[in-house]
Amino acid sequence: MIDTHCHLTLKDYPDINEVINKMGNNKIIVNGTNDEENKRVIELINKYPNVYGAIGIHPEEIDKITTNSFKYIEENINNSKIVAIGEIGLDYYYETDKEKQKEIFIKQIELANRYNKTVVIHSRDAIKDTIDILNKHKNKNIKLDIHCYAGSVESAKELIKLNSMFGIGGIVTFKNSKNIKQIVEEIDLKYLLLETDSPYLSPEPYRGKRNEPYNILYVAQKIAEIKSLPLEEVLKVTTENAIRQFDLD
Ligand code: NI
């Protein structure tokens, strides 16, 4: 199994060796959101054989951008263990500068186009603008991971045409998560990826506690239950999906 999205870059992991070793040979993709975390992503991928990385500037971090931010991404983008630009996108949940967010999002999509990298998308309350920008600016062949997808089945179908897969995390195990359960039910398993978004969004039975990559097992179990499939098949297919979407070896 592969945890396609987490933030082991954060200070929540004084026990990071144990957290990563618990995954054994299973792979982990850590995502950066700002300069400091992007540097930490590089440290982690250099240190742990089963850890891969995505680097980028998150829409809620754009105030921290420096002249070095994009330079650093570009300098490290050809590292063989950097498998994506992310997480990047749009977040309209808080009152922030939408135009600036769009500008930074587009700039990073153009980087992905230039270096032929997968993009990890964060989109909150902004799915229409996200799809519009991807339609306009993304090269057709560039693959997408729509992290923590929470939109409609219709938008999901539009996104599939744009070469997307959908990151399914702990929320699917929550009692009141009708929307995501419907996505899992209606969207073919070949478009689904497992993710934890650690340290956030722990699945049941650990809801409210610190999350970690190993907990994707509970997400996979829930997907198996919703789709009436054996757990083994969910693990196998989602792992193949992640290998394909991130060009992992
Ligand atoms: Ni995230």
The answer to whether 38 touches 70, Cβ cutoff 8 Å, is: no
Residues 225-245 have pLDDT tens digits of: 999 999 999 999 999 999 999
Distance 200 CA to ligand 1 centre (A): 8
Distance 224 CA to ligand 1 centre (A): 23
Pairing label, strands 51-55, 144-146: unpaired
Distance 229 CA to ligand 1 centre (A): 27
The answer to whether 17 touches 48, Cβ cutoff 8 Å, is: no
Distance 148 CA to ligand 1 centre (A): 8
Distance 167 CA to ligand 1 centre (A): 10
Residues 173-182 have pLDDT tens digits of: 999 999 999 9
Distance 68 CA to ligand 1 centre (A): 22
Q: CB count, 10 Å around CB of 92?
A: 16
- Superfamily (CATH) of domain 2-245: Metal-dependent hydrolases (3.20.20.140)
Q: What is Dmax (Cα atoms) for the chain?
A: 50
Tokens of 124: 């909150």
Residues 115-168 have pLDDT tens digits of: 999 999 999 999 999 999 999 999 999 999 999 998 999 999 999 999 999 999
Half-sphere exposure in the Cβ direction for 129 (13 Å, CA):
16
Distance 37 CA to ligand 1 centre (A): 12
What pLDDT sits at residue 168? 98
Distance 85 CA to ligand 1 centre (A): 12
Distance 120 CA to ligand 1 centre (A): 9
What pLDDT sits at residue 39? 98
Domain extent listing, the chain: 2-245
Asked whether the CA dihedral 195, 198, 204, 205 is positive or negative, the reply is positive
Distance 194 CA to ligand 1 centre (A): 13
Distance 6 CA to ligand 1 centre (A): 6
Distance 10 CA to ligand 1 centre (A): 11
Distance 96 CA to ligand 1 centre (A): 18
The answer to whether 201 touches 150, Cβ cutoff 8 Å, is: no
Over 90: is that where the pLDDT of 110 sits?
yes
